Amino acid sequence: MRIIGGQFKGRKFYPPAKHWPTRPTTDFAKEGLFNILQNRIDFESTKMLDLFGGTGNQCYEAISRGCLDVTYVDKFREAVKFVKQVSEELDILDEIHILQMDVLRFIKLNKIQYDYIFAGPPYPLKWLDQIPDMIFKYGLLAEDGLFVLEHNPNHSFKDHEGYVEERNYSQTIFSFFRHKTGTVDSR
């Protein structure tokens, strides 16, 4: 895996993930996503949330591009340990908040709104189709925020009221969501 752009561009990291319950986003799909995001997000003023963070791939990329406030959430102990290690090596511990926690629990307990949320859940997750509703129901997305959900072709969100578009990278699909105008959830 490598960091595609920004101050750490070209930096490679090697997660010992042979037996991890993670599915890292491919460099090809991540590059496509960040090419889109680069034109839509001012990373330097963005508060980012990475749900099902796995190897931390999305976090490193965002921080490399100037994001100074990233929250990483994953329940798998070895992945969290790896992200802490890489964050130390990159000297980005001041920019990343690393939480070892079940994502569903985090969503229900969180009181912070984020400008950009990325969720890359395991594709067989039983409640994957409910994630967009939960992001909006629990008020995680800021009023002008952007939520991106990674999924495979077995899921479609085109009928969701917050759906904006999707981008397809072979078996990886990124669905983009925003608040429907005038319907921002309040707590």
Cα angle at 173 between 167 and 176, to 5 degrees?
Answer: 60
Residue 33 within any structural domain of the chain:
no
pLDDT in the model for residue 186: 40
Distance from the Cα of residue 132 to its chain's centroid: 13
Residue 25 within any structural domain of the chain:
no
Per the structure, the complete domain to which residue 117 belongs is given by: 43-177
Residue 94 within any structural domain of the chain:
yes
Q: Which two tokens stand for residue 104?
A: 């569903």
Domains identified in the chain, total number: 1
Residue 12 within any structural domain of the chain:
no
> Tell me, what CATH number does 159's domain have?
3.40.50.150
Helix (H, G, I), strand (E, B) or coil at 155: coil
**Residue among 99, 105, 106 at smallest CA distance from 77:** 99
Span 12-52, pLDDT tens digits: 988 776 666 666 677 889 999 999 999 999 999 999 999 99
Residue 53 within any structural domain of the chain:
yes
Helix (H, G, I), strand (E, B) or coil at 48: strand
Span 73-130, pLDDT tens digits: 999 999 999 999 999 999 999 999 999 999 999 999 999 999 999 999 998 899 999 9
- Is the full-model pTM beyond 0.75? yes
